[in-house]
Copies of this chain bind each other. A is one copy, B any other.
Amino acid sequence: MTLRDFDSEAPAAASPVLVGVLAVVGVGLIGGSLAAALRQQGAVGRVLGVGRQTRTLERACGLGLIDAAASLEEAAAQADMIVLAVPVGAMPAILQELAPLLRPHTLVTDAGSTKFDVQQVAYAALGEKAGQFIPGHPIAGSETTGPDAADAGLYRQRTVVLTPLPENSAKDKALLTKVWERCGARVVTMDAQAHDIALASVSHVPHFLASVFMEQVAAASDSDLRMALAGTGFRDFTRIAAGSPEMWRDIFLANREALLSELGEVKAALERAEQCVRDGDGQGLHDFLERAALARRFWGSRSGLS
């Protein structure tokens, strides 16, 4: 894992354009925020938006996130860099369509939450051109969706993981790193499978548990009473459950094995904690809660996130 220095404070005026023409496929929260950040930093010339929904693209134009809507074909003919900011499940079709259109110098990357499957999809769809694709994952998000949720500050002080292929050129990797750094992010490179295992734990499991819990409360016969008595703890614990069902379905299926394995570990830990409650084991319960509290406080003090 390689950490690069965080440097988002360089003045836009002094900063060079990194990407002449950027094409963003999927101008929602993730793609729209990338476009907004790079425009704010003066790091892009022209931004094209590609997507299935005309209304979304019009809105992205209206918000100033993109200069124009384009087809994937038009984007491939003009763009120096293409970012796929779509649910993981939509990537095979897009990469297959893109493969014959891709010009030799164009760099392609993605923002998907799983990386091993994306890597496999890229090899299968792009073949000889796979070296032009660098898998990436900005670890940032929000429970809000669509171009209206785009935020030029979304990636500031956040981590972006790149899981480069052996075929990627050093020049492309350096450029993509610079692009994310200009958004204020910290770039880390690691192996795709190690990424998926770690993210199963700290991202996919929390979303899964928050969603399971939220659905269980909502399905209770007295859910109105329960929800009326829910406070700020409930609010924070369940916030991620409001996220996009399509996106998270794709993530859970794409990272199925690691997710189920981690859930197994969590269930074993849950069983141990429940046993303390059943046994009225105050000391055991206290020790478990203290380990959790100390770990969370330590993380909070180190992460810069809380």
Which listed residue, B230, B243, B273, B291, touches A202 by the CB 8 Å rule?
A: B230
* Residue pair B238, A296 in contact (C-beta under 8 Å): yes
- Report the nearest B residue to A213, measured CB to CB: B266
Check: A4 CB closer than 8 A to any chain B CB: no
B230 pairs with A297, CB closer than 8 A: no
A263 lies within 8 A of chain B by Cβ: yes
A220 interface residue, CB < 8 Å from B? yes
Interface string of A188-222 (1 = CB under 8 A from B): 10000011001101110111111111111111101
The answer, yes or no, to whether A303 is at the interface (CB within 8 Å) is yes
Q: Are A280 and B299 in contact (CB under 8 A)?
A: no
Check if A278 is an interface residue, CB within 8 A of chain B.
yes
Which residues on the B side are within 8 Å of A246 (C-beta)? 286
A241-B141 CB under 8 A given contacts A216-B265, A266-B216: no
Interface bracket on A: 35 or more
- A257 closest partner in B (C-beta): B277
**Which residues of chain B come closer than 8 Å to A94, judged between CB atoms?**
none
Asked if A245 and B215 sit within 8 Å, CB to CB, the answer is no
Tell me whether B217 and A295 are in contact (CB under 8 A). yes
Q: Which of these, B141, B227, B244, B300, contacts A242 with CB under 8 Å?
A: B300
- Among the interface residues A222, A235, A237, A238, which one has the most CB atoms of the partner chain B within 10 A? A237
Complex CA gap A215/B273 in Å reads 10
- Cβ–Cβ < 8 Å partners of A260 in chain B: 274, 277-278
A239 within 8 A of B: yes
The CA-CA distance from A217 to B262 in the complex, in Å, is 10
What mask results when residues 283 to 306 of chain A are scored 1 for a CB within 8 Å of chain B, else 0? 001101111110111011011011
Residues of chain A having any CB pair with chain B under 8 Å? 1, 89, 139-143, 158-159, 161, 188, 194-195, 198-199, 201-203, 205-220, 222, 225-246, 248-249, 252-253, 256, 259-260, 263, 265-267, 269-270, 273-274, 277-278, 280, 282, 285-286, 288-293, 295-297, 299-300, 302-303, 305-306
